[in-house]
Amino acid sequence: MNIAVAQSGGPTVAINASLMGVFEQALKSVEIDKVYGSLNGIEGIINQNLVVLNDLVKGEEDIELIKTTPSTVLGSCRYKMPSPDDKPEVYEKIVECFKKHNIGAFFYIGGNDSMDTTDKLSKYTMQNGIDVKVIGIPKTIDNDLCYTDHTPGFGSAAKYLATTMQEIVRDSAVYDLKSVTVVEIMGRHAGWLTASSGVLHANGETAPHLIYLPESEFSAEKFLNDVRAQLEIRNSVIVAVSEGIKLDDASYRSGKVDNFGHEYLSGIGKLLENLITEKIGCKVRSIELNVMQRCSSHLSSKTDIEEATLIGSEGVKAALSGETGKMMTFERVSNNPYKIEIGMVDAKLVANAEKVFPCDWITDDGTNITHEAIQYFLPLINGEINIKTKNGMPVHFIIKK
Amino acid sequence: MNIAVAQSGGPTVAINASLMGVFEQALKSVEIDKVYGSLNGIEGIINQNLVVLNDLVKGEEDIELIKTTPSTVLGSCRYKMPSPDDKPEVYEKIVECFKKHNIGAFFYIGGNDSMDTTDKLSKYTMQNGIDVKVIGIPKTIDNDLCYTDHTPGFGSAAKYLATTMQEIVRDSAVYDLKSVTVVEIMGRHAGWLTASSGVLHANGETAPHLIYLPESEFSAEKFLNDVRAQLEIRNSVIVAVSEGIKLDDASYRSGKVDNFGHEYLSGIGKLLENLITEKIGCKVRSIELNVMQRCSSHLSSKTDIEEATLIGSEGVKAALSGETGKMMTFERVSNNPYKIEIGMVDAKLVANAEKVFPCDWITDDGTNITHEAIQYFLPLINGEINIKTKNGMPVHFIIKK
């Protein structure tokens, strides 16, 4: 039989490593002949827009190059899977594609929305007696998927963040004057990525001095008092703020929503910058780390890339052993030495749910993270990868579509 | 005798390498005893706020760590040097500090404003028979200093930019829809850094598809037509725009100016994003690369760090041979193989001047750079440096002030 694999949702730097995990395991499996790559997520299956990875990926060098290429080499989508009752023709097209290409298993690398697709598709195939296993491979820099210790892509985003925040700390400290630097960090309504900037404390940095997460209530008045108190004890105050913090005044939100009804978040950093200018009046700068948080493959965590590869491979093993409708998971067995095991969970349980940052990992004053949280984050950012370069710039693998 | 060194103006990732160049050469020079570091630029001399680098920098390991630490380990300032006629007391304080600490040479690492200080101070010492040599060591990510082929700090900023732009290109290409990504790049009124993003073409990237520099006239109407034309031929259009481009409508400017009367520039990316949303209506995102352009030492160019060290060392040699009031320069002897020589020029000539990007290195349609420009940039971003890490994060050298 053949298999198919697709990538969905927002990019990460580890999603191509999971793709190669699937591909490498397929090469090792006598049951599997070809590996089809579906272009632009499930839309590639629906529209029969496929590539044969065995033809495009020539040997070990390409595999390693793809693992260190950011974003999705197969493209992505934000397609919301309808129910079979509403649009049976979508499912019929998918099954037609599966049958035509003798596809016996489909792997969907994505976040919680992709797990919704994994769940719906696996139920449809089971209920209609179609022998195609459907397995979800987690990915998101937001780390907000339930039932897994963490998600592939998160560790590298956290490593980018720690490195960049530390460099911003140095940059912000040069002048002999009071200043505040507000760094706006992704993560939607979960504070994992913003909180992870606290790992700097493990290397003796006092920054970030204030961390604001969506999991805590945010009050502009308390924020200004927190900043004033920090300005009393140091020149350069560094604030890490999640794009998803809840303001009483919702006027900063863009109001735009994506296909899943999620709001596009951004602008909170600028808003807080203006607030400090108006109410405190010291030098202030806001920095939006933007998509660099999810595409800076040159700062990938070795642990993350290796784990992303592993969980892709394990997904293939799970499908071959008859599993379907599951998402693969990480279980943390121990922290020191760091050790994980691979598990799985019903994709239905993960779909459309969100795992938030634990409240007891936030310090009592609500403005930083605990030692326990730091211990959770540290193994995930561990290790550096070697990037192939040409002319002083990284080399990426590109599939011409 | 002893010497003193200070760092001034906006940070770069190479300014500490120049500091170590001065320090290493001083250690080799029998004429020089102690190396004083002046905290926060020339203000440290005025206020006698000095450290002894020989005490703080313990051996080769510290030297290498400082070379890869971003920003200024001695702090910086934006102090505008008055004329001796206006404020003789400032010069008296400086001379008092020089005499007290037996300082026979002063090295000022900075941009064009710092060369103004170098010029004024060297003239004062000469005119008053004070035997203190004053030498300027160039630094700026803007590459806008006259009389030098390029400036230390620029190559690393360009390398950060090339790497990050390429990752943004991958990130922007994931969805099967038309989109524009506008990347706002530093450089004040000179287009060097923005133009340098064109080096991606040397590795086969079509992006950036449109490059807008302050050296070309900018018309919103032509810009929209350029973008529309690009959207006809590709899905994902990448625009590199300098923070300093001149709009007819100056309303986007903040109006804030620094001590030298320079405007704080920023916001052009967001302005163009809004323009595209309004007039074209496709998906559009703007990204401000902000201070990461000048502080991302983990992406330093090996060439840049080595040259920054060299030019610091050569500054010490120049002072010992009796030079004063000069800025050290790079002269490019050949491009292939890349070879530079060190020269010098009157600091007065560099002070308060600005070297702009050559118009004949801009393509005829005004939206990209020529092959010759790419050949100029490529050697400057060459080579990667090894960063010392702990817990998966870079280690920086910090002087406790």
* Amino acid sitting at position B288: E
* Amino acid sitting at position B126: M
- The CA distance from B65 to the nearest CA of chain A, in Å, is 14
In whole angstroms, what is the distance from residue A83 CA to residue B376 CA? 57
Which of A67, A164, A174 is most worth mutating to test chain B (most B CB atoms within 10 A of its CB)? A174
Of chain A, the percentage scoring pLDDT greater than 70 comes to: 95
CA atoms within a 13 Å half-sphere pointing along the CA-CB vector of B287: 23
Which of A78, A80, A167, A307 is most worth mutating to test chain B (most B CB atoms within 10 A of its CB)? A167
Name every residue whose Cβ is closer than 8 Å to that of residue B187 and which is 6 or more positions away in sequence.
Answer: B141, B142, B143, B144, B193, B194, B214, B242, B243, B244
* β-pair type (B326-335, B338-346): antiparallel
**Is B295 in Cβ contact with A11 (below 8 Å)?**
no
Of the candidates B131, B124, B155, the one whose C-alpha atom is nearest the C-alpha of residue B142 is B155
Residue A254 has pLDDT above 70, yes or no: no
The Cβ of residue B287 has, within 10 Å, a number of other Cβ atoms equal to 24
Mean pLDDT of the A114-140 span: 97
**Helix B112-127 vs helix B88-100: crossing angle, to nearest 10:** 80
* β-pair type (A35-38, A50-52): antiparallel
In whole angstroms, what is the distance from residue B352 CA to residue B144 CA? 10
Mean pLDDT of the A97-110 span: 98
- Local confidence band at A311 (pLDDT 50, 70, 90 cut-offs): very high
Which residues of B fall within a CB distance of 8 Å from A389? 384
Minimum Cα–Cα distance from B374: chain A residue: A391
**Is B392 in Cβ contact with A301 (below 8 Å)?**
yes
- Local confidence band at A364 (pLDDT 50, 70, 90 cut-offs): very high
In whole angstroms, what is the distance from residue A304 CA to residue A21 CA? 13
Q: pLDDT value at position A328?
A: 98
- The CA distance from B272 to the nearest CA of chain A, in Å, is 16
Residue B28 has pLDDT above 70, yes or no: yes
Over residues A367-384, the pLDDT tens digits come to: 999 999 999 999 999 999
Mean pLDDT of the B236-252 span: 80
Q: Which letter, b or e, does each residue of B93-124 get, where b requires 16 or more Cβ atoms within 10 Å of its Cβ?
A: ebbebbeebebbbbbbbbbbbbbbbbbbbbbb
Residue A253 has pLDDT above 70, yes or no: no
- The CA distance from B141 to the nearest CA of chain A, in Å, is 13
Which of B78, B170, B206 is most worth mutating to test chain A (most A CB atoms within 10 A of its CB)? B170
Which residues of B fall within a CB distance of 8 Å from A173? 71, 75
Residue A250 has pLDDT above 70, yes or no: no
Over residues B37-49, the pLDDT tens digits come to: 999 999 999 999 9
Give how far Cα A279 sits from Cα of A37, A208, A224, B261, B313, Å: 54, 21, 8, 25, 47
Q: What is the DSSP letter of A81?
A: P
Over residues B325-354, the pLDDT tens digits come to: 999 999 999 998 999 999 999 999 999 789
CB pairs under 8 A between A and B: 162
* Amino acid sitting at position B110: G
The answer to whether A379 touches A335, Cβ cutoff 8 Å, is yes
Mean pLDDT of the A301-328 span: 98
- The CA distance from B301 to the nearest CA of chain A, in Å, is 8
Q: Which two tokens stand for residue A335?
A: 């922290």
**Is B166 in Cβ contact with A393 (below 8 Å)?**
yes
**How high does pLDDT run on average in chain A?**
94
Environment class of residue B354 by beta-carbon count within 10 Å: exposed (0-12), middle (13-18) or buried (19+)? middle
**Is B77 in Cβ contact with A175 (below 8 Å)?**
yes
Q: pLDDT value at position A363?
A: 96
Q: Catalytic positions of A, please? A: 142
Residue B77 has pLDDT above 70, yes or no: yes
Name every residue whose Cβ is closer than 8 Å to that of residue B131 and which is 6 or more positions away in sequence.
Answer: B104, B125
Q: Could you give the residue ranges of the DSSP H alpha helices within A35-77? A: 42-46, 53-56, 59-67
Q: Is the peptide bond before B208 cis (omega within 30 degrees of 0)?
A: yes
Q: In sequence order, what are the beta bridge partners of B79?
A: none
Q: What is the DSSP letter of B200?
A: G
Mean pLDDT of the B181-189 span: 95
Dihedral sign (CA B312, B316, B317, B322): positive
Q: Catalytic positions of B, please? A: 142
In whole angstroms, what is the distance from residue A17 CA to residue A7 CA? 11
- Local confidence band at A202 (pLDDT 50, 70, 90 cut-offs): very high
Q: pLDDT value at position B252?
A: 44
**Is A391 in Cβ contact with B199 (below 8 Å)?**
yes
Across the interface, of A171, A391, A395, the residue whose CB is closest to B71 is: A171
Across the interface, of B171, B389, B396, the residue whose CB is closest to A291 is: B171
The answer to whether A314 touches A210, Cβ cutoff 8 Å, is no
- The CA distance from B206 to the nearest CA of chain A, in Å, is 13
The answer to whether B117 touches B125, Cβ cutoff 8 Å, is no
- The CA distance from A352 to the nearest CA of chain B, in Å, is 21
Of the candidates B127, B130, B154, the one whose C-alpha atom is nearest the C-alpha of residue B140 is B154
Give how far Cα B282 sits from Cα of A9, A263, B218, B227, Å: 19, 18, 22, 11
Of chain B, the percentage scoring pLDDT greater than 90 comes to: 90
**Is A294 in Cβ contact with B159 (below 8 Å)?**
no
**Is B162 in Cβ contact with A393 (below 8 Å)?**
yes
Which residues of B fall within a CB distance of 8 Å from A394? 163, 166-167
**Is B78 in Cβ contact with A395 (below 8 Å)?**
no
In whole angstroms, what is the distance from residue A212 CA to residue A202 CA? 19
**Is B285 in Cβ contact with A288 (below 8 Å)?**
no
Q: pLDDT value at position A313?
A: 98
Task: Please tell me the least confidently modeled range out of A336-350, B7-21, B241-255.
Answer: B241-255
Q: pLDDT value at position A401?
A: 62
The Cβ of residue A264 has, within 10 Å, a number of other Cβ atoms equal to 13
Give how far Cα B98 sits from Cα of B105, B121, B127, Å: 9, 12, 16
Give Dmax (Cα) for chain A.
Answer: 72
Across the interface, of A288, A384, A391, the residue whose CB is closest to B203 is: A391
Over residues A292-309, the pLDDT tens digits come to: 999 999 999 999 999 999
Mean pLDDT of the B216-232 span: 94
**Is B382 in Cβ contact with A175 (below 8 Å)?**
no
- Local confidence band at B401 (pLDDT 50, 70, 90 cut-offs): low
**Is B162 in Cβ contact with A199 (below 8 Å)?**
no
Give how far Cα A88 sits from Cα of A92, A114, A303, B177, Å: 6, 19, 41, 25
Of the candidates A163, A215, A265, the one whose C-alpha atom is nearest the C-alpha of residue A368 is A215
Residue A266 has pLDDT above 70, yes or no: no
The answer to whether B388 touches B68, Cβ cutoff 8 Å, is yes
Q: pLDDT value at position A353?
A: 86
Of the candidates B315, B348, B352, B335, the one whose C-alpha atom is nearest the C-alpha of residue B120 is B348
Q: What is the DSSP letter of A391?
A: T
Phi first, then psi: what are they for B386, rounded to 5°? -90, 125
Mean pLDDT of the B220-230 span: 95
Q: pLDDT value at position A41?
A: 97
Give how far Cα A213 sits from Cα of A106, A321, A377, Å: 36, 41, 16
Across the interface, of A162, A290, A395, the residue whose CB is closest to B393 is: A162
